[in-house]
Structure formats: structure tokens, C-alpha cells
Amino acid sequence: MADLDDDIRAELRTLVRMKAQLVGGHLVMAGRLIDEDPEKAYKHARTAQQLAPRLAATREALGLTAYLSDRYAEALAELRAARRITGSNHQWAVMADCERGLGRPEKALEMAQAPEAKELDKGTQIELRIVAAGARRDLGQVDAAVAMLQGADLTSAQIEPWTARLRYAYADALLEADREPEAREWFARAAEADSEGITDAEERIAQLDGVVFGEEDELEGERDIDDEDEDDEDLEDDFDDDEEFDDEEEDDEVDGEEDEHDAAPRVELSAEELESGVEDEEQ
């Protein structure tokens, strides 16, 4: 979400210019913060949704940030709303995982077998498979979870964007099935495929090997994080939950469904964040 794509910009142009800048700015900030601070990303996405509840982009952004901050019921409601607006199933795997988060693994398995699942792109199908395997583990069916993750795409020499996550999920399932030597091998293979560091496969290998990180290493890591936070201060704005935008209220219903956050506080954007939110229509 960090960079607004053409579809989102097209949606924003249906709003008056000032509101488009506000909404776009919040969507940009949600994208920038989604990995490092899901809670702040959620607040930005929530404000964007309050300002423009009829846009699929704001519904989806709120759904994803709610999901990443463990607000599964809210995430599911928002992603369903976005799906009704767009007709797209590209967040189907996330919606299925929300069902798991709500303690409904059987529903997640139903979604994995639904006709919509067959229409997904390869990457989303892999994610849905990982979710379904997790649902099997939730039900205590660990061997079934291991079997579900096996296949040619797991052992292929070709590295795809989803390869590391698939191998990691397989290794984790093997470990739960008390197959530690195999699990270590697949954590290693996940680490080999994980050039962007999206998993903690290397840390899992170290744990299996009995490596213990000392207090000095942990303190050094905390200092590094603090330094990065200082460098990134210009990218984000402090939240002031006591202030609201002086902007006109919009009807927060989509298909007759009332928005749950109508009275929730909003966050503010700096001038720089507003400028990054949406391109000038004259450009």
C-alpha cells in the first residue's frame, strides 16, 4: 500500500480534491507503517475509511491493517465490504485466515474448497493452502497439514515470491509433527529462498541448534532499532486522538451496512504527508 496504484488514484479522483489529499495521505502512511507499526497503520487506515467509506481502497486498507493488528472480526467485515464493491476475490486467503483467527478453522477449510479459490492467482492459492494447513493444525490434524503443503511447488528449484513462506509453513508443520530433522532441513531451505527476510527461518534454525543469544546481543539490537526510529521520524506524524478533521460527515453505509467506527477518533497528517497522498490532477 506504500505507493498508491492507478486504481486507487482513480478512486480518489471521485472525491473533492481536498478530501482526496487527506484520504490519499492516510493510505500512504498506512502503507509505510504497516510492517513496523501495525497499530499506527491501523489508525491511519481507519481515518481514511471514515473520510471515504464508499471507496474499496479505504475498506481494504482498514481490513488489512485490522488483520495485521489481530482485529479479525473487523478485518473480515471490511474485506467483505471491499469485495462487494470490487467483485474481486484477491483477499480471499486473508479472509480465510480471519476465520481461523476467530476460532472457526472449519470455515477456513470451506473457503479453501470454495469455487472462488479456483479463480485465484498462483500466489494467492499458495497463501490459501498455507491457511488451510494452519486450519488443519488448529483441529489437531497435524499429519494432514503436512500432507496438504507437499507438492511440486514446494520442491521446485525455481524460487518464487511465495516459496519461502510455503517452505517455512511446511517446516513448522513438520516440527509440530515431531519430525525435527526434516523440519530443520526445510527451515534451511526456507532461509535460502528468503532473500527479503520475510520469515524468521534462520532464527528457528538457531533455536533448533540450541543457540542462545546473550543479553549484550539483545541490547545491541535494541540500540539499532532506536537509531532507525530516529532516522525515520520525518516519515511519520504523531497521532493526536483528541483532534478530528473539520470535514463533512459521509454516510458510512455500504449495501446498508453501518460502519462501526463512526465515532472513533481520527489522526492528522503533516503537510508533507498530504502532498504525498495524491498527485495533482493537473500533472
- Residue 35, SS3? coil
271 in the Ramachandran plot: left (φ > 0), alpha (ψ -120 to 50) or beta? alpha
Cβ density class 177-199: b for 16+ within 10 Å, e for less = eebeeebbebbbbbbebbeeeeb
18-64 tens-digit pLDDT: 899 999 999 999 999 998 999 999 999 999 999 999 999 999 999 99
Q: Where are the domains of the chain?
A: 1-88+237-283
Model confidence, pTM: 0.75
Are residues 67 and 74 in contact, defined by beta-carbon separation less than 8 angstroms? no
What residues contact residue 146 under an 8 Å CB cut-off, 6+ apart?
A: 133, 170, 173, 174, 177, 179
117 contact partners, CB below 8 Å, separation of at least 6: 92, 111, 125, 128
Cα angle value 10/11/14 (rounded, 5°): 95
Average pLDDT across the chain, whole number: 83
- Each residue's pLDDT tens digit, 55-82: 999 999 999 999 999 999 999 999 999 9
**Is residue 84 scored above 90 in pLDDT?**
yes
Instruction: Please check whether residue 30 is in contact with residue 49, taking contact to mean a CB–CB distance below 8 angstroms.
Output: no
Does pLDDT of 247 surpass 90? no
